Amino acid sequence: MTVRALFFDLDDTLIDDQAAVRHGAECVCSAHSGDLPAGTDHYAVWQTAFALIYPRFVRGELTFPEQRRARVRQVFALPDLGDEEADRRFATYLEGYRCGTRLFADVIPALDRLAQLPLGVITNSQAGLPESKLRTVGIRDRFRIVADPDSMGVRKPDAAIFHAACRALGVDGGDALHVGDHPELDARAAIAAGLGGWWLNRNQAQPQQSLPTITSLAQLQLHGVEKGVNSGRSRSAPSGAQARRR
């Protein structure tokens, strides 16, 4: 079966999100270092706050701006910090994030190889960030659609966001493949929605049993994509040199 559309996750699939977060965290924490204990690991404290606060937004307990302010208050242990100051500090983080935003080295060659296919992005990033990130790194025009929670009303792993993205490109789910760095939110969710789903295991983490896996977009050759979509849906690894066997 030939793949008629190919979707990518955004953060840590196309964009090195961890590096950008690290740069943003360093910017805001260094600017307000007087509010932090000496020797604080800026990246670690920022990520800890994200892990604590962001799930509350996903559950609907906080609005998007509220979760940003709550993360700043958590990082600096300033529960009474005013909204205006919290917003200023988060803006410092965002500027640092923007300056630190980079594509992985394998992205442009992969997009060039696959340019004959309709391409899209399916991401849980929102509040205008997906479009901003893609324009910052100069690849927005490579994608016919950017599907995010704001535009689609749902987020991964909900099958509806995959189905909506396929409709936007005029393809059936069975003719589409999604590639992303999260084994559950990307690969397994896509498979459950009826698409092909491949896990991009950039860090070579513990393999996921029977999950189609690649470790670099350099392995995503067009003929490998065409032959691999069936195995993606049946949860066996893509054949040939285009994907890592287990």
19/11 Cα distance (integer angstroms): 10
In this prediction, residue 207 carries a pLDDT of 75
Cα dist from 141 to 2, 65, 119, 130, 133, whole Å: 24, 28, 10, 13, 12
Tell which residue, 50, 35, 7, 45, has the closest CA to residue 161. Answer: 7
Residues 6/8/13/14 CA torsion (nearest 10 deg)? 90
E strand or H helix at 196: strand 196-200
In this prediction, residue 234 carries a pLDDT of 39
In this prediction, residue 223 carries a pLDDT of 54
In this prediction, residue 104 carries a pLDDT of 98
Domain boundaries, the chain: 5-16+102-242, 17-99
Q: Which two tokens stand for residue 12?
A: 């840590």
Per-position pLDDT tens, the chain of length 246: 579 999 999 999 999 999 999 999 999 999 999 999 999 999 999 999 999 999 999 899 999 999 999 999 999 999 999 999 999 999 999 999 999 999 999 999 999 999 999 999 999 998 899 999 999 999 999 999 999 999 999 999 999 999 999 999 999 999 999 999 999 999 999 999 999 999 999 988 787 778 999 999 999 876 566 544 444 553 333 433 333 333
In this prediction, residue 224 carries a pLDDT of 61
User: Tokens 């000496």 map to which residue?
Assistant: 38
Q: What is the DSSP letter of 11?
A: B
- Answer whether CATH 1.10.150 is correct for domain 17-99: yes
Tell which residue, 245, 231, 242, has the closest CA to residue 3. Answer: 231
Asked if residues 230 and 236 have their Cβ atoms less than 8 Å apart, the reply is no
Q: Is 50 exposed, middle or buried (0-12, 13-18, 19+ CB in 10 A)?
A: middle
Tell which residue, 123, 225, 229, has the closest CA to residue 173. Answer: 229
Strands 5-8 and 176-180: parallel
Strands 176-180 and 145-147: unpaired
Spell out the residues 6+ positions from residue 101 whose beta carbon is closer than 8 angstroms to its own: 15, 16, 20, 133, 136, 137
149/29 Cα distance (integer angstroms): 29
- Answer whether CATH 3.10.20.30 is correct for domain 5-16+102-242: no
Find the DSSP H helices in the chain.
Answer: 17-31, 42-58, 64-76, 83-99, 107-113, 129-136, 149-152, 159-169, 189-192, 222-234
In this prediction, residue 229 carries a pLDDT of 44
Spell out the residues 6+ positions from residue 138 whose beta carbon is closer than 8 angstroms to its own: none
